[in-house]
Amino acid sequence: MPVRVYVHLTWTTLQRQPLINSEVADFLRRFLPKVAQRHGARVLEAGIVADHVHLVLQLLPVINIPRLVQGLKGASARLANRDGLTPRAPLRWAEGYDLRSVGVRQLRTVIEYVGRQAQRHPELAIGQRPSGRPTAEQGL
C-alpha cells in the first residue's frame, strides 16, 4: 500500500499586515501549486486572506519540508514584488510556519476548513467566494 502524507500548512504576512490583495491572491493561487509540484507536493486546497495563507498538501514521504516552504514563501514574494503586484508595500512573509499532519479521515474536514477562510475571516476576505475558490473577476 502506498504511503499518503497530508499536511495543513499555514504562514502569515510580516506582522500580520494585510498585504495580500486580489491580484496577489490570484497570483498565489496559480503560482503555489507549480512550486509545490516542483518539490514533490500537490496542493489540494488553498485558503488565502489578506494576512495569511493556508494550504492542504499531499506530500511524497521523502520530501524536504523546509525546502518546500522556503520555495513557496521565498519565490512567491520575490516574483510578486518583481511584478509589482503589491503597490502599497512589498509582499513579505513572517518567519516560520505552522505545519500539521492530517489523517486520511480528517482530510475532507481540513480541506473544507481551508476552503472557508474567507467566511472565517470576512474582514480579511479578498475577492473570494465563501468556498475559497477564485471569483469570476479573478479569472475563475
Domains of the chain: 5-134 (3.30.70.1290)
DSSP assigned state of 137: G
- Supply the pLDDT for residue 127: 62
pLDDT digits (tens, 9 = 90+) for 26-47: 999 999 999 999 999 999 999 9
Kindly give the parts of the chain with pLDDT less than 50.
128-140
Pairing of strands 41-49, 98-102: unpaired
